[in-house]
Structure formats: structure tokens, C-alpha cells
Structure 1
Amino acid sequence: VMAEVLRRGKLSVDDISRITKVDKWFIHKLKHIADVERQLAEEPLTPELLAAAKWVGLADVSIAEITHKTRDEIRTMRRSNNILPCYKMVDTCAAEFEAMTPYYYSTFRGTEDEVAVSNKKKVIVLGSGPIRIGQGVEFDYCSVHSVWALREMGIEAIIINNNPETVSTDFDISDRLYFEPLTVEDVLNIADKEKPDGIIVQFGGQTAINLAAELERAGLHVYGTSVDDIDRSEDRERFDEVLTETEISRPEGISVTNLDDAVTGAARIGYPVMVRPSYVLGGRAMEIVYNEEELRDYMSRAVKVTPDHPVLVDRYMQGTEVEVDAISDGVDVVIPGIMEHIERAGVHSGDSIAVYPPQTLSARVIYTIIDYTKRLAVALHVKGLLNIQFVVAHDEVFIIEVNPRSSRTVPFLSKITNVNMVHVATQVAMGHTLKELGFHSGLVPPRPYVAVKAPVFSFAKMTDVDISLGPEMKSTGEVMGIDYHYARALYKAIVGSGLNVPTKGCLLFTVADKDKDELKQLAKAFSEFDFEIAATEGTAKVIASLGIDVEVVGKVHERSTDIIEMIKSGRISMVINTLTQGKHSARDGFKIRRATVEHGIACLTSLDTAWEVLRVLEFMQKRRLVYALALQDYVGGGDDLA
């Protein structure tokens, strides 16, 4: 805000300092940047002015935007005039004594470069950037294991990442670490310096994948799955061609670039539909919409649709979601495991409880999933990791999406199957075949135990965030429960995730109309566990029709039976609440869900999760957990599946 005020020249440095209480030293720095921006807009771009712009920290893309040039033109002008960054060593010892670490940052203000570049074969591995919801530490795990694999192969491994809290930015992980933003400009600057043999992008999540095309266009060789094949999996029309070629079904959908096409397409497909922008991670801005009014609201509020940034509109299929992580060399495909999600399709995979091996899928469905995975990996010429999400509806298998890169389930699957997926995928990306590495194509035989991945949420630390689960990812971590029996593994995972499951007390139901048929059996099951049952009026009528005693509670704003007050007082032990349509109902539901967070009460927003909590309750009553084993006690040591 201060920078924009300075750009417009509305207030002086003294005025801004007086209003904001920010020290003038910082405001003068901002003013200097604003002055350079003004020069760029008003004066011819000379080498001296370009150097001044880089000196104050303006990116090539920003300079290009101000001067109405392209980023490539700015980069070419910089290089031809020797306006290049130099790289300085990060002093990890705060000048107390001399420290020599291969840990560097760039600056345009220096002249003496401190990087010792070697002539060895070298590969750059792109990290995942800042860890945020949807871009988790799982991708950092993948980056680190890739670096270790490269170094084991005798290849010099260089990491580019800019998060100080990740393992990949520990200075002793790689041969050299560049603490730089994951942008095209910064990666190319490092490539100019290091002159690597190539770059690996498939272990840094969507952040790294999104850079691949421009890096290749600039002359960098991308190891593993080609940029063209990555685009074939990401681009809607090209991916539809792949599915036609491989004779694989997907939910009907279209790619739209304007509101009118979205409305027309959704009406043809039939509501509800899943809408999302393309090329995103973590399901950002993804929603299920149930009518045209909601679709119009989404298109105006959640996304900026353009020809370069289309929106995907898909038929929403309510079925079982299944996830697969595989390794392919373009010929053979190894599938370490298949994971079945507890929550039905529509809940983001990162927020779902996932079970290995699948507990409810038929042999026919499992075979189809294996077959589809092989077909897609070969058709897309995948060399490395591949993540596929399926939906199973009425015993038929459909593709949701394919990602030719690592996923957040790779660490989970690697640990429970004892197949170091990233290590193998890195070797494949560098030219080895799966047969050379001792692997056989197909599904690795399931292990004799069950592993459950449960999401961890941080809603208590994030105010005004709705805890309801949907297509947009909200979890900030995950835990694993492992046991030889599914109920015990589920119990361990849910307890580990921090979900406070009560064994007695009053259970509040308030669910959407579309869920009330399924609610009947669920309410009956909970009542048999001797829970007291309370519900809002509409939900209470359904429960009472079964002959179950139910306390009718009023809406949030009815003070005589205020649900919020009941939660605050401890009268309610757990809430089962599914999203309802309508402005007032949605507002009341949000208030209820936030109250449960603030008072440490379990709130389940998916009926599928509620059914699994019943399993946990059954186990807790029997109390048969008499021992605990470490992961290695189940899995064993070494990669004995190769």
C-alpha cells in the first residue's frame, strides 16, 4: 500500500511515516524503487537504467511490464550488457568464525562471485518453494531423495529452493544450494552460471512443473517426462485425445474461456458440476456448484478466466476416489500400491483419509485400475513418477486427473511399501530402465498390514476459515496409522491426527437435505452407542421418524436453544454437519463449525468420515490395542521388493 501511495505521489515520506508509524528509512527505500519504476515508464531503457532497476531488485518480468517489452527482450539486453547477478555464500555462522558452505544467494549489487563451479556432470533439482496449504513438505521429501539418488550415481546435484524450513535447504544435502525464488529468471540465471547437463522438475510439485516449458524453451534439457507430454496431461483437449487413444473414460467435461461457455456447458453436462482453474495445486479455487446462480457467482468471484487460463467444468460423480502413484520408464510400469479414499469424490485427496491396500474395491475394479495406469503411463511416455486419481462409481472406473510428477502421497506409499519411489524414479529419469533396476511391471504384491493416512488440520490457528471439506485442500499435514487390522490402523491414524472422538455425550446432527436419507442409518448406529442425539428441526424430523429420541435445537440466532451456547457449555460432545444451500443456512453452518474448532469439539463435515469414526468408537469400546510397534517392525529394512 505504501509503495502504491508513493507511485501516485499523493503523500510524502514524512506524511506516510506519521500515519503508519513506519520508520522513514524503510519508506525511503520504497520511494527509491518507485522512482526507478517511474524512470522506466518515462525514459528510454538504457543499460544504465536497466542496471539501476536490477540494483533495486526489480524482476525482469516487472521491468518488461513497465517498459512494454517482453521478458526475453529484457533478459537478452541484460546478458548482452553483462548485467548479471553474482552469487554470495550464506554465512551460516553469523561472522563468529569463517564458514565455508555450498549455500548461495544472488545479488546485483556485488562484483565478486563466490561460487566455485566444477566441470563435473551436474543436474539441477527444482524444489517446491514456500510450503503452504496444498504445497506441502511431501514435495520437499521428494526433492531431497532425488538429490541423494543423483549423488549416489556420481552426478553433482544442485538444489534451487527458497524455504529456510525445509530439509532440501540444509547446506549439507546437495553439492550446491541456491536459496533463490522459483521463477524462470532466477533458475535461468543459475543455469547460466552452472551450465548443468539438465534439470529435474518432477519432484517439486506444481510449482516446478509450471516452469518446465519456459525453461526448456530457453535451452535447458528437462530430464524425465518430456515437457510436451507434461502438457498432454495438463491440457484438457490434449488429454482428452490421450483418453480416446487409450479407450479410458472420464467424467464428461469441458474447458471454457468465458462465462457464457461455462453456463452453456454446465447446462449440457448437468448439475452438479466441479469447476476449477487449470494448472493448480491443492485444489485452489475448486468448487462443486449445484446450479447456474452458483456457477455465475464462482466465475465472477473465484477465478479470472482468460484464453490463457481456462476453467475446467466437469460432471461431478459421487463415488469412491482411488489414488495411484506409479513409476514408469515409458515401457514398464511399477505400481507400489493403490490407495482407497474414505471420503467420496469431491473431497480433495489431501484432506481425505486414505487406506492401503484398498478395503472395499472388487478384484475387477483393481485390475481395471492397474490396466488404466499402465495404458496412461505408456501413452504419456512417462519417465519417472506418475500420480493418477480415479473415481469408482457403480463398479465402473473413471479418470479424474493425471499428474506426471510426484504427489503428496509418495512419501506415505514409499514408507509402507518399502519401495523408495523417488530414488527409483530419479534413476529412470536419468536413463535407466526398471528392468535394469530389478523391477517387474505391474502391481507390487500388497503387504500383510493396513496403513491409514489421515489429514491434520490447523483450523484452531486460522481464524475465519471454514473447516468444511471440499475440493479445495485445507489440511496442513498428515499422520499414518499402521496395523495388521484395519480398525486398529484407523484408530491409530484418527487419534494421531488429533481428532477428539468422544465415547459418550450428546451428538448434534445438522445436515443438508441431500444427505438425509443416508443420515437415517448413521443416526441409528450412533444411538446404539448410547449417545444422546440432538438435531436442528429438519434433521430432527428425519431422526425421530426412526423412533429415536432426539432433542430439537433451534437455529444459531434463536437464543433459547442457541447451538453455539450448547457447544460453549460442553453440552455438545461432537457435531456432524454437512454443507447446506442458502445464505442463512450457510452462515449458520459456518458459525457452528467455527465454534467447534474454538472449543476443541470434533466436527465431521463428511458422512463418510462419520461412518469411519463409528468403527473407531467400536474399537475404543473393546480396547484391544495392547501393543505398539515401530514402522520398521512392520515394513522391515532395505528395499527387498526390487
Structure 2
Amino acid sequence: LLRNASMKVAEAIGLIGECNVQLALNPFSEEFYIIETNPRMSRSSALASKATGYPLAYIAAKLALGYTLDEVINKVTGITCSCFEPSLDYVVVKVPRWDLEKFVGAEKSLGSEMKSIGEVMAIGRNLYEAFQKAIRMLDIGEPGVVGGSYYDEDIPLSVVIEKLRKREPYWILHTAKALKLGVSVDELHRITGIDKYFIQVVKDIVDFTEELRSKKEEIKLNYDLLVKTIAKAKEYGFSDEQLSKLLGIDVEYLRRLRISEGIRPYVKQIDTLAAEWPARTNYLYLTYGGSIDDLDFSRKSKEKVLVLGAGVFRIGVSVEFDWATVNLSKAIGRRGYEVIVLNYNPETVSTDWDVNEKLYFDEITLESVRDIVDLEKPIGVVAFVGGQISNNLAKKLEDVGVKLLGTSGLSVDRAENRAKFSKLLDYLGLKQPPWIEVTSLEEVLKNIYEIGFPVIVRPSYVLGGIAMKIAYNVNELVDFLKVATKISREYPVVISRFIDNALKVEVDAVSDGRKVVGVTIEHIEPAGIHSGDATMVTPVRRLSNDVIKEIHDAVLRLALELEIKGPFNIQFVVKDDTVYILELNLRASRSMPFSSKSRGINLMELTAQAILNDGLRIGKSGEYLELPAKSWAVKSPQFSWAQVRSAYPFLGPEMRSTGEVASLGKSFEDALLKSWLSVTPNRLPKNEELIMIYTAVSEDKPLLSEVSFIFKKVGYDVVTIDGMSINNSNTISYDESLERLRRGDVGLVITTGYTPEKDYSIRRLTVDLNIPLILNANLAYELSKAIWLLKDNNSLIDIRELSEYWS
């Protein structure tokens, strides 16, 4: 019915290529409506292509060139044509990833406006397996549909039902919780409108879990029953971790037991034709719903390298890490190795099945990686290009005997564990802000005054500044630790003195264990704003040669001490020409694509040299080499304040931007303006539009007054707000400021700090109306000077082909 309606839409619009048709079906009849059609590649095109193996973009391009469907060869089989609808012998589940908890005041109800930041795609032989995989892939701390902290937490049923009524993210988890608490399938269908079939699948998982829990002592005492239970649980998508927790047995014992009994995942190919025709591509997934592998692992081939991808996109992890995965994979492939990629994000290039010789579209967990290593027997595993999700596995893999390529897992742990790294810095005599390690709130209250306020809370093994917070007094600190951070002897937290109004600097680098090659980057915004939300500049502008040398010497000393082989990133703050080290990320960083493109030298190519060849081909042993800059480069963050309804826009140590842009230029101002203007919805204010500048932060008033002075010299009228006013501006009331925004009189708003009790409505209205918003005084000052120069010199903006900036 719906397929035929979609085909009629395509015929009606004279479609050549691909389109997306969205329909609404009455769940109680065959009544339906067509909502819209998008005659282009849609967001779901990549998902549909990777779910089926049918490459929509490739085929659409061929059709645009004049081919017909029967003339286009199916790239998966290499023999059959593309004039067919794919057949599947597996189930695919896509689940979005949300990060709404990062946004203060955000409305969490889901509706017609997209709020997700990424998505996962899980493949299994049944819905149980696919559902459980998908929840683990989200990397939200849940081991599957059941058995996690939320499932077992003591939460009133009324709270769970309210989450379902409001359509808050992750309905599967809320449904499992409600079913555990006794709500029926019919009642959940009535509350949510979700088809009973899907709710019943979740109920089957819950029922199995509760039966297993009630009989776990009996199961553990009966070996045959234990083996049968494990086999059934694996078909239901349970991980070893889930099962070990539910049964109360050691996870390593469970793994050895199931392998000895032949309970292992089988490797299956995605072939577009439900195994009716042999596939030529090695597009693979793991499943316990099989009895034979689709590949012959006994055949000899080239030496293999397994590269772990970045998994789901979330705030802090986006295409930057996929760039690292793809570019390193290509560099390894050029050296004659068979490259195997493990990833599960349908939005990425690394999950294009024709990019590498093998693609496993599956979970990035310790269990899955070990299963693949057992089958493929690679010479090593690369865990440093996939962001935190892969890097967190480094030491765990090493501990169970899996060989890592690049830096050792022990060194990764010394760098990523905040306390161990702080002790390392003390041992090397490298400066860092005063710090303490605490394992309880009692220790916090006892020792916090040793370092003094303000302080920053720094959990270990995090990306995107998760659970980082600046506290200005003990009450703020204790409140935050109670709410946001798990603190115990197992999860110690490092609290460091926060150095206010300091310059933030970082170095992206590659080492071969003997020398270091790097790129030094400076932030326009001061320390205290997450690097992902900061405007980055390279080469550096405000550091003396002595400070730069001290930074580079520290980078070299750490690289040699940790025996780093591969990419890494070190972050510093500089205050009054004193250099302090903040952290070392022993992996590819978010900024490495930017660093590489700023210099025209691919840091992943250098990484391949470091881990597979005899070492870096440039630089001298025992020295740090800064890659020379031949132009200016600026990276600007892209925020999605307008999409996150009710959120209060502000900057802090936890990342909130959802993307980034960058530009190169012949001058700093050239690169800055092009970069900032490339961010949505930024634009230069029209001559007749007002610029609104205000702040409740007294320390920012002098610089913002200077910004106002510059804009007035350019020719703009500047207004400020009574009670939060600055100098050199016309003061208007709070109510008038809202009215001016609504009337479209304002072309740019500049403010600073975190003061929702004073200006929530102004900031919220600004982003809802897509008016450009600047949230930092330093950035406002640099942009005002650049706009002033542009008004005096129209040739300031210089457009060139990318490679021209490198010559």
C-alpha cells in the first residue's frame, strides 16, 4: 500500500535519482496520508543504504548520468543489476542519540523538530538482538535494554510513566522499566501509541531477565542448564557483562565457558539478496542467530590491522574522529595491510563498505573486539582514532592479551586517569594547577581548602567535558558532586584549582617514541570554556617565544616519558607567562583535522609512519618540530541553540556545540571573519540594524565597552540594557530590548557569563529568532576589530582554493 503510494509520488514528480517519501498511516485501518517528499538524498539515505547494502547515492548518480536501473551493476554482488528491492535475512534497528542533559533548561519532550545529535544502527537476526545491541551502541552507560543502572534503580512508576507520556528520549528503556514495575502491554500501548508488537518484544526481554534472576542459584548449580541459559540469552542479545551481573558470576569465567561450549557469534555478510546470491564485498556483522560463518577464516591473506571507529556521534564526538579513522585506514592500506574497520554509525565514511577491505558493522565493546580478534587474528588493534569509546578499551584489551598498535594501554591509563597523570606531572617537575584526588564528599570538605577556590572538577576518561564544572565556593562544589558525578574509591575525582582569565593553548602532535611533530593552537576565549566550544587560531598570536619553547619542551618530555607512538593532544593554560599543563589526551583529538588542514600535512599519515614504519620521516631524534604555517587558520564552533527548545545559551567547561567550521586566510582577520560567518545563523549586521551589547559580569564590562566603541566607529548604533549596561551605548529597558528583538531591529547580540535569572528571555528570544549571538567578550573584541578592518578594506576577505594556502 505505502510502497505503491511512494512509487506514484515518484512518477508524479518525474523523479530521476533518489527521493524520500514520508507518510502517515492510521494504525487501526489502511487510511494513510502523504506528508511530504524530498526529491534528493535524505538524512535516512545513508541509513537505508547501509541497512540494505543498496548504495542509493551511487545509483542515483548513475541515473543522473543517463543510465537506467537495469544497466547499473549491484556493487555488493558485482554481477546482478540494481533493478530490484533488497531482500534481508536480518533485522536493522536505528536509535537516535540525544544529549539534552547538557543544556540547562532544555525541553526534553520529542516532537516534530529534530533534537538528536547522532544515531546508531544495530544488525541482528531478531529484534531482541538488535534492540539490545542498539542500546549498548548509544554509549549512555546502559548494558542493554535491561540490567543497567536505570533498570535496577528505585524510581517511582509515576516518574517512568511521565517520561513515556512526554515522549522523552529512549522509550525502550522506559518501557522496560515500566514492564518490570508491572504495567501491561495494553496500557503502555495506550500511553505511548507504540505498536504492541514492539512493546511485546521488550516484554519478552524483561520476562526472561526476571525469570533468570529468580532462578539464578538453580542455574549456577546445574551446568547443563547454565549452558542452555547462556545460549538462549545470547540469541536474545544479552552481552557477557549483562549476563555476568544477572547471574552473579565472573565475566571472564562466563566467556571461557561459552566459548568452550561453542557459543560464539557467527560472521554474516550483508548481501542485498538474503543469501540468494554470493556477495563480493566483506560487509559483515556478528550474530548469535547463526550456525556457520559466511567467510572462510582459514584462508591465508595479507597481515591484518583492526581499526576501531568512533561509534555514535554525540556532543564531543563527530565527523572529526571519522576523518581520523578513514585517513589512518587509508594510510595503513597503502602499506600493504588488510584493513578491518569496526564501527556502527551509518552517518560515517568509515562505514561505507567499499572504503576498506572489511567492515564489521557492530558494537565497539571489549567483548565484540575480542570476538573479532579471535576470528581475524590481526597483527594489532588501533584504538586511538575512535575517540573516547575506543580509547577506553585500550588498557582493557591489553590486559586480556590483545596487541595494540601505537602507544601501550598502560601509558594510555597513565594519561587518561586524572590522578595518575597529575602524579606524573609532579614526578617530571612540570607545572600544573594545584590539585587533590578525592574518593568521598568527606574528603572534599576536609581537603578542598588546600587548593582554594575557584576549582574545576575533572573526572577521568571523558570526552566533551562530561561532568566538568567550575565551582566558586564549597556549596556549589558539593551540590554538583552530589548530582552529576559518581565519586567513590572505584571512581576517584580530581579537583584542580581553576586559573581564571588564562590563555588556553593546545598542541596536536604525533610521536614515534623518539621525536615529536606538532601543531600549536591558541584559543580566543579564555580557559574555562571547553575547547570544542572555543574559537581556535593557528599559528599562535599572543605567546612569547620563551613560552612557546617551554610548551614544546613539555610536550617532548611527556611523549618520551610515556613512550608515545601515535597521535596525542596536550592542553595548557598560560597566565602571566607561566605555563600550566591541564591534560593529555593519548589519542587522535577533535582538532586534528583542523590542524592537518591548517598545514596541508595529514597527521594520520604521520601516525602510520610512527606505528608501522621505522618512525617519523621528519624531525630530529630528541626534538620537537612545529609544522610551519604558511597561512592563518581559524576554527569556529557551530551551536544548535534554536533546535534545543527552552535551553539557556552559555559557554562553560562542558561542551555544547554540535559541529564546527574552519577557514584559512592570508591574515588572522580574514580567516576569523570567514570562519565566523560560515556558522549558522551568523551574518554581518545591516547598517540600519542595532547591535545589542550587555553583561551582568562586571569583569567583562570594560572590554565590552571597547567593543561598543569600535562598532560605533564602524557606523552601527549600539544599545545596552538597564541593570546590565556597559559604557559607550544607549541604555534601553529590559522590556524594550525584547520588543526590539521581536520587531527585527537587532542584527547582533553580545553578552557573557551565566545569568539566567537576569537575561533568560533575551538569550532565548535571540536564538529562537536566529539572530547572531556572541557569548564571550574576547571573541566579540576580535570580531569587532576584524569588521572594522573590513569596512576600511573590502579586499580583506581573500578567497582561494585550499591548496593555495599551503604553498
- TM-score, normalised relative to structure 2: 0.73
- The aligned residue for residue 557 of structure 1 is none
Change in 2 beyond 3 A, CA 1:327/1:549? closer
Aligned residue for 2:546, secondary structure, equals helix
Of 737, 743, 755, the match for 1:563: 737
- Structure 1 counterpart SS, 2:649: coil
1:56 to 233, 236, 241: 236
Matched, 1:22 2:194: yes
Spell out, residue by residue over 1:62-118, the C-alpha distance to the aligned partner (whole angstroms, 9 max, x if none): 111111123222212211211111111123578897643211111111112112434
Distance 2:458 2:419 in 1: 15
Aligned equivalents of 2:679 and 2:187: distance in 1? 50
Q: Which residue of 1 aligns with 2:291?
A: 111
Q: How far did residue 438 of structure 1 move?
A: 4.0
Aligned positions of 1:429-440 closer than 5 A: 429-430=611-612, 432-434=614-616, 437-440=617-620
Within 1, Cα distance between the matches of 2:578 and 2:654? 25
Equivalences for residues 77-156 of structure 1 within 5 A? 77-92=257-272, 99-117=279-297, 118-119=299-300, 120-156=302-338
The answer as to 2:641 corresponding to 1:459 is: yes
Stretch moving more, 480-489 or 454-463? 454-463
Contact 2:694/2:721 (<8 A) preserved:
yes
Contact 1:383 1:429 in 2 (8 A): yes
What aligned pairs does 1:323-342 form with structure 2 within 5 A after superposition? 323-335=506-518, 337-342=519-524
2:781 to 603, 611, 618: 611
Which residue identity is paired with 1:615?
K
User: Which residue in the other structure is 2:368 paired with?
Assistant: 186
**Cα distance in structure 1, aligned partners of 2:664 and 2:232:** 58
In structure 2, the residue corresponding to 1:84 is in which secondary structure?
A: coil
The equivalent residue for 1:377 is 559
- What is residue 621 of structure 1 aligned with on the other side? 791
Residue aligned with 1:113, SS: coil
Contact 2:341 2:360 in 1 (8 A): yes
Does structure 2 conserve the Cα–Cα contact (< 8 Å) formed by 1:509 and 1:576? yes
Q: How far does residue 186 in structure 1 lie from its aligned partner after superposition?
A: 1.2
Note if 1:507 corresponds to 2:507.
no
Q: Does 1:527 align with 2:527?
A: no
Query: Structure 1 95/259 Cα, relative in aligned 2: closer, same or farther at 3 Å?
Result: same
- Report the Cα distance in structure 2 between the residues aligned to 1:247 and 1:299, rounded to whole angstroms: 30
The answer to whether 1:203 aligns with 2:412 is no
Instruction: Select which of 393, 403, 406 maps to 1:221.
Output: 403
After superposition, the Cα gap between the structure-2 partners of 1:27 and 1:448, relative to the gap in structure 1 and judged at 3 Å, is: closer
Is the contact between residue 321 and residue 340 of structure 1 (CA under 8 Å) also seen in structure 2?
A: yes
| 8 Å Cα contact 2:343/2:351 also seen in 1 | yes
Contact kept, 8 Å, 1:488 with 1:619, in 2: the verdict is: no
Q: What SS class does the counterpart of residue 321 from structure 2 fall into?
A: helix
Correspondence for 2:701 among 493, 513, 516: 516
SS in 2 for 1:169: coil
**1:265-304, aligned counterparts within 5 Å?**
265-304=447-486
Does structure 2 retain, via aligned residues, the 8 Å contact 1:534–1:553? no
Q: Partner of 2:208 in structure 1?
A: 36
Counterpart of 2:692, as a letter, is L
Q: 2: distance between equivalents of 1:603 and 1:138?
A: 25
In structure 2, what is the equivalent of residue 640 of structure 1? none
Structure 1 residue aligned with 2:179: 6
Match of 2:733 in 1: 553
Match of 2:770 among 597, 600, 616: 600
- AA aligned opposite 2:663: G
SS in 2 for 1:342: strand
Sort the Cα spacing of 1:224 and 1:571 in 2 relative to 1 into closer, same or farther, 3 A.
Answer: same
Q: Please list every run of 5 or more consecutive structure 2 residues that lacks an aligned counterpart in the other structure.
A: 1-173, 221-225
Given residue 329 of structure 2, which amino acid in structure 1 is its aligned partner?
V
How far off its partner does 1:135 sit? 0.8
Aligned residues: 617
Give the Cα separation in 2 of the matches to 1:121 and 1:603: 52
Structure 1 position 627, deviation (Å): 4.7
Q: Is the 8 A contact 2:516 2:619 kept in 1?
A: no
| Aligned mates of 1:148, 1:415 — CA distance in 2 | 17
Structure 1 residues 552 and 12, CA gap change in structure 2 (3 angstroms): closer
AA matched with 1:278: S
CA distance in 1: counterparts of 2:737 and 2:211, whole angstroms: 60
Larger mean CA deviation between 146-155 and 86-95 belongs to 86-95
Per the TM alignment, residue 342 of structure 1 is displaced from its structure 2 partner at its CA by 0.6
Q: Deviations over 1:501-526 (max 9, x none)?
A: 31543222331133234333333333
The one-character-per-residue Cα deviations of 1:373-428 (angstroms, maximum 9, x if unpaired) are: 11111111101112111111101111111111110111111122122211221231
Residues 573 and 581, structure 2, Cα contact 8 Å, conserved in 1: yes
Alpha-carbon distance in structure 2 between the residues aligned to 1:262 and 1:604: 36
- Name structure 1 gaps, 5 residues minimum: 555-560, 637-642
- 1:522 maps to a residue whose letter is V
Give 1:484's match in structure 2, choosing from 649, 666, 680.
Answer: 666
Shift of 1:588: 3.8
Greater displacement, 68-77 / 263-272: 263-272
- Alignment partners' CA distance in 2, 1:591 and 1:103: 50
Q: After alignment, is 93-102 or 240-249 more displaced? A: 93-102
Deviation at 1:28, TM superposition (A): 2.2
Identity between Structure 1 and Structure 2 (%): 37
Separation in 1 of the partners of 2:773 and 2:354? Answer: 43
Structure 1 pair 76–322 and aligned structure 2 pair: CA distance change class (3 A):
same
CA contact (8 A) 1:40 1:63 kept: no
Helix, strand or coil at the partner of 1:168:
coil
Which residue number in structure 2 is paired with residue 539 of structure 1?
724
Deviation of 1:319 after TM superposition, in Å, equals 1.0
1:69 correspondence with 2:253: no
The one-letter code sitting in structure 1 at the alignment partner of 2:787 is: L
- Name the counterpart of 1:403: 585
Give the residue type in structure 2 aligned to 1:229.
Answer: S
The residue type paired with residue 785 of structure 2 is R
Alpha-carbon distance in 2 for matches of 1:332, 1:627: 36
Structure 1's 579 and 30: CA in aligned 2 closer, same or farther, altered over 3 A? Answer: same
* Contact 1:138–1:411 (Cα < 8 Å) also in 2: yes
Tell me how far 1:345 sits from its aligned partner. Answer: 0.7
Q: Distance in 2 between matches of 1:338 and 1:11?
A: 57
Q: Which moved more, 1:516-525 or 1:91-100?
A: 91-100
d(CA) in 1 for partners of 2:209, 2:384: 36
- The structure 2 residue matched to 1:321, chosen from 478, 498, 504, is 504
3-state DSSP class of the match of 1:528? helix
Query: What residue identity is the alignment partner of 1:633?
Result: E
CA distance in 2: counterparts of 1:60 and 1:270, whole angstroms: 45
Is the CA contact (8 Å cut-off) linking 1:142 and 1:411 kept in structure 2? Answer: yes
Could you tell me how far 1:625 is from its partner in structure 2? 4.2
Partners of 1:226 and 1:431 in 2: CA distance: 17
> Shift in Å at residue 299 of structure 1?
1.0
Change over 3 Å in CA distance of 1:262–1:115 after alignment to 2 = farther
Alpha-carbon distance in 2 for matches of 1:96, 1:611:
65
Task: Please tell me whether the aligned partners of residues 711 and 788 of structure 2 are also in contact (alpha carbons under 8 angstroms).
Answer: no
1:354 CA displacement = 1.0
- 2:394 pairs, out of 212, 227, 237, with 212
Which of these residues, 417, 421, 427, is aligned with residue 603 of structure 2? 421
Output the TM-score relative to the length of structure 1.
Answer: 0.92
User: By how many angstroms is 1:11 displaced?
Assistant: 3.2
- Structure 2 partner of 1:572: 746
Q: Secondary structure at the match of 1:221?
A: coil
| Offset at residue 235 of structure 1 (A) | 2.2
Q: Is the 8 A contact 1:323 1:388 kept in 2?
A: yes
Residue 635 (1) aligns with residue 635 (2): no
